[in-house]
């Protein structure tokens, strides 16, 4: 069974957009848990911004926001 590529080509842009938005949301959720304590995670209560977890939280939050708006995606 040979399916032509044109059948899926019109859906690929939508699927990639949805995937990008979902991944950006996951990045931002984990970054907010580390930095803004939303949702509250007890192990991140005394987190310093210049620690490894603090830097990871900043990268996740900023990277997720950039990914959400589509900046630097291609």
For residues 58 and 49, the answer to whether their CB atoms sit within 8 Å is yes
State the Cα–Cα distance between residues 31 and 12, nearest whole angstrom. Answer: 28
This model's pTM is above 0.85: no
Per-domain residue ranges of the chain: 20-69
pLDDT in tens, 3-46: 666 666 767 888 889 999 999 999 999 999 999 998 888 888 88
| Contact residues for 27 (Cβ-Cβ < 8 A; gap 6+) | 60, 61, 63, 64, 67
pLDDT in tens, 50-61: 999 999 999 999
Compute the C-alpha angle 64/10/22, nearest 5°. 20
């Amino acid at each position: 069974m040979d399916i032509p590529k044109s059948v899926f080509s019109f859906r690929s842009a939508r699927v990639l957009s949805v995937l990008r938005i979902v991944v950006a949301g996951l990045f931002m959720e984990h970054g907010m848990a580390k930095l803004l304590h939303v949702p509250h995670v007890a192990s991140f209560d005394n987190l310093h911004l210049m620690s490894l977890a603090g830097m990871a939280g900043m990268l996740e939050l900023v990277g997720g926001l950039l990914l959400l708006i589509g900046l630097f995606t291609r």
